[in-house]
Amino acid sequence: MRVYRQSPKPLKILLSREERLIYTLCREEISDVLLAERTGLALDVVQEILLRLCQQGLLEVVVQGPSSPSPLQSAQERLMRALEAALGPKAQAYAAEIQSKASLGALEEYSRKLVLRLRLTISRRAAEALEAELKKIFPP
Protein backbone atom coordinates (compact mmCIF):
# COMPACT_ATOMS: atom_id res chain seq x y z
CA MET A 1 0.00 0.00 0.00
CA ARG A 2 1.28 3.42 -0.92
CA VAL A 3 0.07 6.88 0.04
CA TYR A 4 -0.01 9.58 -2.65
CA ARG A 5 -0.60 13.32 -2.89
CA GLN A 6 -0.53 15.95 -5.60
CA SER A 7 2.86 17.43 -6.35
CA PRO A 8 3.36 21.18 -6.64
CA LYS A 9 3.81 20.81 -10.42
CA PRO A 10 0.99 22.62 -12.27
CA LEU A 11 -1.43 20.59 -14.32
CA LYS A 12 -0.77 21.51 -17.97
CA ILE A 13 -1.83 18.32 -19.75
CA LEU A 14 -5.15 16.73 -20.58
CA LEU A 15 -6.10 13.77 -18.44
CA SER A 16 -8.64 11.03 -19.01
CA ARG A 17 -11.73 10.96 -16.83
CA GLU A 18 -10.30 8.33 -14.48
CA GLU A 19 -6.91 10.07 -14.28
CA ARG A 20 -8.59 13.39 -13.49
CA LEU A 21 -10.73 11.76 -10.79
CA ILE A 22 -7.72 10.15 -9.12
CA TYR A 23 -5.65 13.34 -9.47
CA THR A 24 -8.43 15.33 -7.79
CA LEU A 25 -8.81 12.82 -4.94
CA CYS A 26 -5.06 13.10 -4.26
CA ARG A 27 -5.33 16.73 -3.09
CA GLU A 28 -4.75 15.35 0.37
CA GLU A 29 -2.72 12.27 1.21
CA ILE A 30 -4.64 9.11 0.28
CA SER A 31 -3.74 5.45 -0.13
CA ASP A 32 -4.10 3.49 -3.34
CA VAL A 33 -6.50 1.06 -1.64
CA LEU A 34 -8.78 3.89 -0.52
CA LEU A 35 -8.63 5.41 -4.02
CA ALA A 36 -9.78 2.09 -5.47
CA GLU A 37 -12.71 1.99 -3.04
CA ARG A 38 -13.75 5.59 -3.66
CA THR A 39 -13.48 5.43 -7.45
CA GLY A 40 -14.97 1.97 -7.84
CA LEU A 41 -12.06 0.97 -10.08
CA ALA A 42 -10.03 -2.20 -9.65
CA LEU A 43 -6.88 -1.80 -7.55
CA ASP A 44 -4.57 -2.78 -10.41
CA VAL A 45 -6.20 -0.16 -12.69
CA VAL A 46 -5.81 2.50 -9.99
CA GLN A 47 -2.15 1.54 -9.50
CA GLU A 48 -1.48 1.84 -13.25
CA ILE A 49 -3.05 5.30 -13.32
CA LEU A 50 -1.10 6.34 -10.23
CA LEU A 51 2.12 5.14 -11.84
CA ARG A 52 1.42 7.20 -14.98
CA LEU A 53 0.60 10.30 -12.93
CA CYS A 54 3.78 9.85 -10.87
CA GLN A 55 5.86 9.48 -14.04
CA GLN A 56 4.37 12.73 -15.33
CA GLY A 57 5.30 14.40 -12.04
CA LEU A 58 1.71 15.21 -11.08
CA LEU A 59 1.67 12.98 -7.99
CA GLU A 60 4.27 12.01 -5.46
CA VAL A 61 4.55 9.00 -3.18
CA VAL A 62 4.36 10.04 0.47
CA VAL A 63 4.53 6.64 2.18
CA GLN A 64 5.52 3.36 0.62
CA GLY A 65 4.39 0.52 2.83
CA PRO A 66 4.63 -3.19 2.25
CA SER A 67 2.87 -4.07 -0.95
CA SER A 68 -0.48 -5.73 -0.59
CA PRO A 69 -1.04 -9.01 -2.40
CA SER A 70 -2.29 -8.69 -5.93
CA PRO A 71 -5.99 -9.29 -6.60
CA LEU A 72 -5.03 -12.51 -8.40
CA GLN A 73 -3.08 -13.82 -5.40
CA SER A 74 -5.86 -13.00 -2.96
CA ALA A 75 -8.45 -14.64 -5.23
CA GLN A 76 -6.27 -17.76 -5.51
CA GLU A 77 -5.91 -17.93 -1.72
CA ARG A 78 -9.64 -17.47 -1.15
CA LEU A 79 -10.44 -20.13 -3.76
CA MET A 80 -8.05 -22.60 -2.10
CA ARG A 81 -9.57 -21.91 1.34
CA ALA A 82 -13.06 -22.48 -0.09
CA LEU A 83 -11.93 -25.73 -1.73
CA GLU A 84 -10.31 -26.93 1.49
CA ALA A 85 -13.49 -26.17 3.41
CA ALA A 86 -15.60 -28.03 0.85
CA LEU A 87 -13.33 -30.98 0.03
CA GLY A 88 -10.87 -31.27 2.88
CA PRO A 89 -7.56 -32.90 1.92
CA LYS A 90 -8.77 -33.61 -1.63
CA ALA A 91 -8.46 -29.87 -2.35
CA GLN A 92 -4.67 -30.14 -2.69
CA ALA A 93 -5.17 -31.96 -5.99
CA TYR A 94 -6.34 -28.66 -7.50
CA ALA A 95 -3.71 -26.37 -5.92
CA ALA A 96 -1.16 -26.55 -8.75
CA GLU A 97 -3.76 -25.74 -11.40
CA ILE A 98 -5.11 -22.80 -9.39
CA GLN A 99 -1.62 -21.38 -8.83
CA SER A 100 -0.79 -21.71 -12.54
CA LYS A 101 -3.51 -19.26 -13.61
CA ALA A 102 -1.99 -15.95 -14.71
CA SER A 103 -5.07 -13.72 -14.72
CA LEU A 104 -8.28 -13.22 -12.80
CA GLY A 105 -10.32 -14.06 -15.90
CA ALA A 106 -8.53 -17.38 -16.36
CA LEU A 107 -8.92 -18.19 -12.67
CA GLU A 108 -12.63 -17.38 -12.75
CA GLU A 109 -13.16 -19.51 -15.86
CA TYR A 110 -11.27 -22.43 -14.31
CA SER A 111 -13.19 -22.15 -11.04
CA ARG A 112 -16.55 -22.19 -12.86
CA LYS A 113 -15.49 -25.35 -14.72
CA LEU A 114 -14.31 -26.83 -11.44
CA VAL A 115 -17.76 -26.29 -9.92
CA LEU A 116 -19.31 -28.20 -12.81
CA ARG A 117 -16.76 -31.00 -12.47
CA LEU A 118 -17.41 -31.28 -8.73
CA ARG A 119 -21.15 -31.29 -9.27
CA LEU A 120 -20.87 -34.18 -11.74
CA THR A 121 -18.21 -36.29 -10.02
CA ILE A 122 -17.44 -35.70 -6.38
CA SER A 123 -20.14 -33.92 -4.41
CA ARG A 124 -23.10 -31.75 -5.24
CA ARG A 125 -22.98 -30.21 -1.76
CA ALA A 126 -19.29 -29.29 -2.15
CA ALA A 127 -20.03 -27.78 -5.56
CA GLU A 128 -22.82 -25.64 -4.12
CA ALA A 129 -20.60 -24.44 -1.27
CA LEU A 130 -17.82 -23.59 -3.71
CA GLU A 131 -20.25 -21.83 -6.03
CA ALA A 132 -21.52 -19.66 -3.16
CA GLU A 133 -17.95 -18.68 -2.32
CA LEU A 134 -17.20 -17.93 -5.98
CA LYS A 135 -20.01 -15.38 -5.98
CA LYS A 136 -18.14 -13.57 -3.19
CA ILE A 137 -14.74 -13.84 -4.88
CA PHE A 138 -15.94 -12.93 -8.39
CA PRO A 139 -19.02 -10.73 -8.03
CA PRO A 140 -21.21 -10.52 -11.15
CA distances from 20 to 13, 15, 27, 57, 138 (A): 10, 6, 11, 14, 28
Specify the pLDDT at position 66. Answer: 55
Distance CA 10, CA 67 (A): 29
Question: Each residue's pLDDT tens digit in the chain (140 positions)?
Answer: 678 788 888 778 888 899 999 998 888 888 888 888 888 888 888 989 999 998 888 888 887 665 556 778 888 888 898 888 888 888 888 888 988 988 888 888 999 998 998 888 888 888 888 888 888 888 76
Q: What are the residue boundaries of the structural domains of the chain, listed by start? A: 2-64, 71-137
Q: Is the pTM of this model over 0.75?
A: no
Domain 2-64 fold: Arc Repressor Mutant, subunit A (1.10.10)
